[in-house]
Amino acid sequence: MRDNRRVDTSRTWSLAGLATGLAGLATSYAAAMALNVGESPLTAVAEVVIRYTPGFVAETAIDRLGRADKPVLVVGIVLLLALVFAWAGRLARRSWWAPTVVFAVLSAAGAGAIAAQRNQQLVDFVPIAVGLVTWLVCLSLVTDPLRRFHGHPERVAPRESHDRRTFLVRAGAVAGGAVVVGVLGRFVGRGRRQVEQTRQLLKLKGVSAPQVPAAVRVGVEGVSPWLTPAEDFYLIHAGITVPTIEPHDWSLRIHGMVDREITLTYDDLVSRKFTEAWVTLNCVSNEVGGDLIGNAWWSGVRIADLLAEAGVQEGADAVKQTSHDDWTCGTPLEALTDDRNALLAVAMNGRPLPIDHGFPVRTVVPGLYGYVSATKWVVDLEVTRFDDFDAFWTEKGWSELGPVKIASRIDVPSSGAEPEPGPVRVAGVAWAQHSGIGGVEVAVDGGSWQPAELAATPSIDTWVQWATTVDLTPGDHLLRVRATDRDGNIQTGVEAAPVPDGATGWHQIEVSVSDG
Ligand SMILES: Nc1nc2c(c(=O)[nH]1)N[C@H]1C(S)=C(S)[C@@H](COP(=O)(O)O)O[C@H]1N2
Ligand SMILES: [Mo]
């Protein structure tokens, strides 16, 4: 009688561990797919196993299993894990920390496997964290009623059956949830992979490779590269999942206060004449000295030409832009119709836009912060009046208009550096898109401003690299930078937070000069 009950309980606890374990695997897999970090922790572990499998074993496996070798390996790992999960569930009967240690060790193994991959980033570890949190939450969720049920033998029957039912419901929900999340992850991942493949294979006529003019480089090591590679370009996205849109499913509607509504397909768009331009894009949320800024070579169609074809009506002053994921922004009509290169961009740095940067089509408008102009996955342009709508960020208290403010940043030396006394090279970048940078000055310890040299720029729409040499004596020093635009406006030293229309203030760093 007693023994029967023991068998029964240990089976129940194993089941709790199993459901919990599968749930963590499922959420980590789904997180990996949603974040598109290439590999789920599980397949990363499989890769490591493959890497360290002795050649003869691998050959036998390939010989016997053919192309099924990898699925067999993954299934094998899952079965092994299932045993560990069941064991962890049984450990949970005695203490909460023993299964926690088991899950932590498994997570560490997954993290180790991911760390062993090439070029991993912090985001690659997110699925591990998601899985571990799922394990811990589900474990307490599922074992809690069990503990009540088995922990108090004096409990009366109705209470027991209530706890038992709670356990079954929760374990079932966790296991069922795991299956649903796993299937969803597969779904999410597949769409993204397919679109990525389309993107890779896409050949766009009229898109040229970026040719960085030599004169834009100031020639100081450590300055941000003038061209920002797409993989280093900052990313801002208010939505949860990244839209994955096949070009043949994309179209853009231009409507509102126009004489002729226009609907453009992707083929319509790419059969037009492209305009290509260097444009530096930055985020209004960038703090003084921050890195939410990048410079790229964009290829696309001028919005001004499309609006002219549509025929903008009297009285309009804005274009409300909407993305595929229903993000909106309001752009001054003037910035889209004057002589600047406001583009419906299809390529960045000579390649179709990366999915995260708006594939297949986004807008780029020189001189305006991204939140009022740079709609990724854009699908709708409505010519209208600012008075008639609110947009995503303006609803949240950000300014309606978002012209880029003059700004500058010290990249070299880095803050806290310890240079030798004597002449020290100081360098960085400055920007005032569509006004252009006219000058940059540096001051040491709050002293007088001394002018820096500027590298060249191909237009007023990009950032500029600058450099100068300052003489530093031993001790601590404060280095400050400020810029002036081509109209003579000086960057203000008054400090303001990013909300509502962009941070201001001078970027400054501290260095400690050694005694030599
Ligand atoms: N669809 C969509 N477009 C968007 C955003 C967004 O959240 N959703 N963010 C905007 C903001 S605030 C900025 S700064 C730029 C950033 O573009 P990037 O991620 O390509 O650097 O995109 C803009 N376009
Ligand atoms: Mo932004």
DSSP type of residue 205 = T
Determine which helix (DSSP H) or strand (DSSP E) holds 12, and give its type and residue range: helix 2-35
pLDDT in tens, 179-233: 898 888 887 777 788 899 999 999 999 999 999 999 999 999 999 999 999 999 9
| ∠ CA 427-433-434, rounded to 5° | 140
Ligand 1 contacts CB of residue 238 (under 6 A) = yes
pLDDT in tens, 355-374: 999 999 999 999 999 999 99
Strands 318-323 and 378-384: antiparallel
Ligand 1 atom 20 nearest Cα: 357
- Ligand approaching nearest to the C-alpha of 380: 1
Q: Quick one: pLDDT at residue 150?
A: 62
Q: Quick one: pLDDT at residue 422?
A: 96
Q: How far apart are CA 126 and CA 35, in angstroms?
A: 9
Q: How far apart are CA 114 and CA 51, in angstroms?
A: 13
Contact 92, 12 (CB under 8 A): no
Ligand 1 contacts CB of residue 167 (under 6 A) = no
Task: Give the closest residue to 130 by CA, choosing from 75, 185, 82, 91.
Answer: 185
266 phi-psi bin (left φ>0, alpha ψ -120 to 50, beta other): alpha
Question: Is the predicted pLDDT of residue 236 greater than 50, yes or no?
Answer: yes
- Ligand approaching nearest to the C-alpha of 284: 2
Q: How far apart are CA 140 and CA 130, in angstroms?
A: 16
Question: Is the predicted pLDDT of residue 153 greater than 70, yes or no?
Answer: no
Strands 318-323 and 343-348: unpaired
Ligand 1 contacts CB of residue 325 (under 6 A) = yes
Per-residue three-class SS string for 328-362: EEEEEHHHHHCCCCCEEEEEECCEECCHHHCCCCE
Contacts of residue 63, Cβ cutoff 8 Å, sequence gap at least 6: none
Q: How far apart are CA 140 and CA 135, in angstroms?
A: 9
Query: pTM to 2 decimals?
Result: 0.74
Q: How far apart are CA 300 and CA 277, in angstroms?
A: 9
- Ligand approaching nearest to the C-alpha of 377: 1
Ligand 1 contacts CB of residue 362 (under 6 A) = no
Average of pLDDT values for 469-498?
Answer: 97
Reading the block at residue 2, the tokens are 């007693």
Which of the four pLDDT bands, split at 50, 70 and 90, describes residue 149?
A: low
Write the single-letter amino acid at 235. L
String of DSSP letters for 251-283? EEEEEESBSS-EEEEHHHHHTSPPEEEEEEEE-
Atom of ligand 1 nearest to the CA of 283: 14
* 57 vs 99, higher pLDDT: 99
Q: 80-86 contacts: CB < 8 A, separation 24 or more?
A: 81/21, 81/25, 81/106, 82/18, 82/21, 82/22, 84/21, 85/17, 85/18, 85/20, 85/21, 85/22, 86/14, 86/15, 86/17, 86/18, 86/21
| ∠ CA 25-94-89, rounded to 5° | 20
